[in-house]
Amino acid sequence: MISHKKYMELALQLAEKGKGTTSPNPMVGSLIVKRGRIVGKGWHKKCGEAHAEVCALQQAGKKAKDGILYVTLEPCSHWGRTPPCTEQIVQAGIREVVIGMEDPNPIISGYEELKFRGLKVRIGILEEECKKLNEPYIKWMKSKKPFVVVKAAMSLDGRIATRTGDSKYITSKEARKLVHELRAEYDAVMVGINTVIKDDPQLTVRLAKGRNPVKIILDSSLKIPFNANVIKSEPNRLIIATTKKAPKAKIKKLQQNGVHVLVVNMKNGKIDLVGLMGELGKREICSIMIEGGAELNAEAIKSGIVDKILIFISPKLIGEGLAALGDLGINKIDKSIKIKKLDYRKIGKDILIEGYL
């Protein structure tokens, strides 16, 4: 008996090779099996390039005929940046297609198209794993807003800095390396202006391979200094979200330097985060990791834009210091925010806790 799950696991491993390079497209892996042997493999490498199924078909060549094609996401059935995959699957003589999950894009009906063309089609094999791989794509495709993660690093007693503000470094080098790897996977990282002024971060992937994310700075009065690291490094990949309080002359000068300045609405005296997410989604930013301080973390959670949390806990005690979260307006324990699908693992000497809101 053919183990569809085994082959789908291999397809998922192929899909993961596209981390950080396919957005706004999803990560997709595919392979072709014939008489118990893998004759073709492929994954989507970059937006605008060949889809995973086409790469697998090209590698298999004539061996694809009468084979089984495994793919982590429903094949496309329309003309977009590339021709429809369903047509090429049919032409190659594939007899059966096994699909991980349905594509949330409403214009795609690859499952129905392949069935209509007479192929045997199964869908929903390792569906949860396939969905987890493409969380940002699913959220962006359904809402046109980015998938948002709050990342924080804290001591065992919940502090992100000492009472003097010292925070370097709470977590281990292994944890910091993982954060840089995550930056390479997300479309953007976001911090508030206080973090820029206090820490002058670079927000790059110095400790890992991959491309630097877009940097998003929340700066309602446009206080950012022109010599800030985020401006000096790749200003064309910097977005500053500000408001009408920003001096027009400074906006103009930043734009002349290549910086993208977004003037957005205010809500309760602060940048309207929900409105900002809509603007960023229009710019095909599908995923954001917030690396801010207590205030930004709390505001993001209160506004409802956060989908997931990543909290690194270091085996250290600090005592009085800065908390990881500001005021969430919660007065009773039974009103506290419940974290779902909780998971944890050890990273160096630290523990990484992952969960969903």
pLDDT at 300: 96
Residue with tokens 């960023």: 280
Provide the mean pLDDT of the chain: 93
pLDDT at 2 over 80: no
In whole angstroms, what is the distance from residue 13 CA to residue 83 CA? 25
In whole angstroms, what is the distance from residue 268 CA to residue 42 CA? 49
pLDDT at 171 over 70: yes
pLDDT at 322 over 90: no
Residue with tokens 């084979």: 67
Residues listed for the chain: 357
pLDDT at 25 over 60: yes
Instruction: Convert the pLDDT of each residue in 227-244 to its tens digit.
Output: 999 999 889 999 999 999
pLDDT at 209: 87
Given the residues 9, 16, 53, 284, select the one marked as catalytic. 53
Q: Is 284 a catalytic residue?
A: no
In whole angstroms, what is the distance from residue 53 CA to residue 30 CA? 5
pLDDT at 80: 67
pLDDT at 82: 65
pLDDT at 1: 53
In whole angstroms, what is the distance from residue 214 CA to residue 314 CA? 28
Instruction: Convert the pLDDT of each residue in 126-164 to its tens digit.
Output: 999 999 999 999 999 999 999 999 999 999 999 988 888
Other beta carbons less than 10 A from residue 25's beta carbon: 23
Other beta carbons less than 10 A from residue 107's beta carbon: 9
H-helix or E-strand spanning residue 37 = strand 37-43
pLDDT at 225: 94
Instruction: Convert the pLDDT of each residue in 79-109 to its tens digit.
Output: 766 678 999 999 999 999 999 999 999 989 8
Is-contact 252 217, C-beta < 8 A?
Answer: no
Residues near 91 by beta carbon (within 8 Å), at least 6 away in sequence: none
In whole angstroms, what is the distance from residue 161 CA to residue 338 CA? 25
pLDDT at 81: 64
Residue with tokens 């991980």: 100
Instruction: Convert the pLDDT of each residue in 253-305 to its tens digit.
Output: 999 999 999 999 999 889 999 999 999 999 999 999 999 888 999 999 999 99
Residue type, 240: I
